[in-house]
Amino acid sequence: MFLKYIYPALSCICAGLFFNQAEAVSESPSYYYFAYGSNMSSSWMRHRMEEGPKKMQEKGLWEGPLGLDKIVPIGRGVLYGYQRTFSKINSPSETEGYATISPAANAQVEGVIYKLNDQHLKVLDFYEGVNTGQYYRTIIKVKNSKGIILDAFVYIAEPGKVDLNRRPSKKYLQLLLEGAEEFQLSPETIRKLKEWRPEDFTNPLDK
């Protein structure tokens, strides 16, 4: 009599375990992404993920559903041995620059870590101009707020697209400050960002 009830119960448990495993296998792979520019702003990232597939579809670069899974902000991250500049050439402007990073001893870059999937990365590749020679995507080691070192994707300006005399626009810089405050980056990072005064040509790296 006892076995009459125990067998169905065990069957349900096993079926549930199998179902959960199947769900896990079917999930899209996830990756960490380290943002140090305008993508530090989560609202800007969400906007890009909403509009990107539509723009790509118009150019014949997107197939499938336009709605993507939500991005997952992890929080503050630190990249050691690099510095942030605004030297990525923004054509056709002769003065405006976008953020990029370059190796620098005893330096560090604070930014924001996100967890993304393949579709998110495809949209970022589009916006960052990977296929048109603007930025390239690579993997770096970044430390999260818990002190754990993660492998994360990052976008770096192609060498031929860099001009150290560039400066950020006010609108662009505001997105970085928005993200820095949202994810509570250090006062030092926020101070350094504010030193890049978009209304003049002062370059903090010259100080």
Q: Domains plus CATH for the chain? A: 27-197 (3.10.490.10)
The maximal CA–CA distance of the chain, rounded, in angstroms, is: 86
Which residues in the chain land under pLDDT 70?
1-27, 199-207
CA separation for the pair 34, 171 (Å, rounded)? 21
Residue indicated by tokens 């992404």: 33
Residue indicated by tokens 């405050």: 181
**pLDDT at 5 (0 to 100):** 42
**pLDDT at 92 (0 to 100):** 86
Type of residue found at 97? G
What does the pLDDT look like over 41-54, one tens digit per residue?
Answer: 999 999 999 999 99
Residues whose CB is less than 8 angstroms from the CB of residue 117 and which lie 6 or more positions away in sequence, other chains included: 28, 29, 30, 31, 69
Q: Token pair for residue 92?
A: 């056709």
Residues whose CB is less than 8 angstroms from the CB of residue 99 and which lie 6 or more positions away in sequence, other chains included: 36, 37, 38, 84, 85, 86, 88, 168, 176
Residue indicated by tokens 């769900």: 23
**pLDDT at 91 (0 to 100):** 85
